[in-house]
Amino acid sequence: MTHSKTVRTERHGDVALILVDHPPVNALAAEVRRDLLAAIGAAASAAGIVGIVLACEGKTFVAGADIREFDAPPTPPLTGDICAALDACPRPVVAAIHGTALGGGFELALACHARILAPDARVGLPETRIGLIPGAGGTQRLPRLAGAPAALDLIASGRHVAADEALSLGLVDEIATDIRAAAIFRARTLAASGQTPRVRDRAVPAFDRAAFDKAAATIRARARGALAAPAAAEAIAWAADLPFDEALAKERARSLDLRTGPQSRALRHLFHAERLAAKMPADDGHAPRTWVVRHAGVVGGGTMGSGIAIALADAGFRVTLAEANKEAAQAAEGRVNAVYDRQVKAGRLSEAARHERLDRLAYTASIEALGDADLVIEAVIEDLPAKQTVFKKLSEVVRRDCVLASNTSYLDIDAMADMVDAPERVVGLHFFSPAHVMRLVEIVRARRSAPEAVATALAVVKRLGKQPVLCGNGEGFIGNRLLMRWRQICEFAVEDGALPQEVDAAMEAYGMAMGYFAVSDLAGLDIGWAIRKRNAPTRDPRARYVPIADRLCEQGRFGQKTGAGWYRHVEGKRLPDPEVTALIEQVSAEKGIVRRPIAAEDIQHGVHAAMVNEGARVLAEGIAQRPSDIDVVLVHGYGYPAWRGGPMHAADAVGLPEMLRRVEALHAAHGVGFEPAPLLRELVASGRSFADLNL
């Protein structure tokens, strides 16, 4: 039958099997769309054909649109045109889905007359993750199958759905091991019955509209300025309120509007940035080999260490967690068990899976138990001498080819590597708390880190399902280095006239997940206090210093864990504290500062400018490889709004000449530490952007 570069049709008796073959993920590029539409038309009119099966070669079904085309006007035929052809096909069409059917790929499947799913396949409409809504009928067909509430959950979140859930929701008709055989059989069965059941002809099942509207309102509130998820909720409501064709046209127009908007461009930037950040630089033109990791050790079973151990066990590693003594090891085991117990209680983990993970975990009070480990991650207190002691002991115990990593937020990896007989196997692995939940891991290359050690760390982080970012060794690495500057702007605002809750409200209005002071209370004020005391001898006496956080710590106000920090914490609620207000006003008075109102926009611009200026310094020093890596770190580790693309992308959107003006204003207002970065000046002078450095 028909054959093209990307699509071919095979005849299986009276059934036409249309196969998309466009490696690596069968994305719906313009050529694929054209060839697929032609193949459907040919099969629909071919003599002797009673049914059609749509399937894909390679590792996956159509995994979505070709995102590389999104910066140009859409090229016909569109995915919606193919869905219309499937709708109108006089012969039953059955989708045989393996791997993932996402976005436009799942919309194709929804337009077929039946869907067969492999047991390990996943489906979903993740368009909101790149600032869009489905544009080929996804918001209209999915609620007709699964109901409006389920469609709202799936489309607004963009989450992928495993086979069992897809079947229970009615998204697919059958789960089969041999999907092509099952699909051919179903196509013949439908043909024999004379049925071509179209999803578009179904009514949306009755649902509680008040509950739906409440859920949609919650989505709008949680979006914090993002447009796509609220737009998806609106489009799903159209499915219930409007005729199919009218709602379909509105969906398409809204999708195209979002596609050309700044939020989708920012999220597409992040999509590419995440993949770029996860690549190991080639060594002399060749990717370095990785060492095999089967047994992982963790030293230190506190909050971070136990979280790292959970992440490793979840990913299938055999894990040994070593503590200083038997009591500490038992406490670590209790922390791990508590996490798994909560997951089981919440329905996120089965009892069988819980036991499977616990069987991979062992606890010990002897570091010698790590002797056969392939990777050991140190996660003890954030104190350099304490960490150096651990590394010295590990060097005496583990094999010489064991990769040694420190989970540190700020400290010098080279100083730890000095304690090891083979320093080339030492790297940093900066997890974010809670380590079993947060996606970001900064992989720190020390001065002597071997490419093989770095590549091994990268492979492990990917296996954990986390987002790696490679960075150089310098205090605070990428994220905490920028945090130090943006913290200062927030504290300056408080000293000059704002209150903590006003600063936090300004940053949350900007789109941040939480304001700085709320995050500080959550993390614990004592951590930053220890760092400031450690750095006090080298602090530039000319630099502006705000002592309010130190005064809070001196009073024992360390945040949520003590019930008081920048806020009071009562029964899980964060409340402004008059005592903090009084302390702030006292410090301002001591410095002779006349307090004044500070506009939210001034706070937002100041924080962003501080991030960008320090980001330019981090780039120039080689701590970050590219600006987009900084964006990935700030979005995934610090709650920077993804729909802005990260601070460096947002700087390009503002315009670097304007960003330089804002940085110069910061310098004029706050002095030492806020001098415009030479790289920022160079980019402005040459008319270039940060995007030009994303190699």
Q: Tell me which amino acid residue 653 is.
A: A
Which residue blocks in 242-298 are alpha helix, DSSP H?
A: 244-259, 262-277
Which residue blocks in 575-638 are alpha helix, DSSP H?
A: 578-590, 600-620, 627-638
Residue 561: strand, helix, or coil: helix
Q: Long-range CB contacts (< 8 A, 24+ apart) of 303-306?
A: 303/335, 303/433, 303/434, 304/379, 304/407, 304/431, 304/433, 304/435, 305/332, 305/377, 305/379, 305/380, 305/407, 306/332, 306/335, 306/336, 306/339
Q: Pull the structure tokens for residue 611.
A: 């991030």
Residue found by looking up tokens 């700030």 in the block: 634
Residue found by looking up tokens 């390679």 in the block: 58
Query: From the CA atom positions of the chain, what is the Rg in Å?
Result: 28
15-20 and 7-12 as β-strands: parallel, antiparallel, unpaired?
Answer: antiparallel
Which residue blocks in 46-162 are alpha helix, DSSP H?
A: 79-88, 104-111, 138-146, 148-157
Give the number of other Cβ atoms within 10 Å of residue 177's Cβ: 9
Active site amino acids: 107, 127
Determine the Cα–Cα distance for residues 619 and 596; give it in Å rounded to an integer: 35
Determine the Cα–Cα distance for residues 381 and 407; give it in Å rounded to an integer: 10
Longest dimension (CA), the chain: 92
Kindly report the backbone phi and psi dihedral angles of residue 694, in degrees, each rounded to the nearest multiple of 5, phi listed first.
-80, 75
User: Residue 129: which of 432, 443, 510, 439 has the closest Cα?
Assistant: 439
Q: Tell me which amino acid residue 24 is.
A: P
Residue 172: strand, helix, or coil: coil
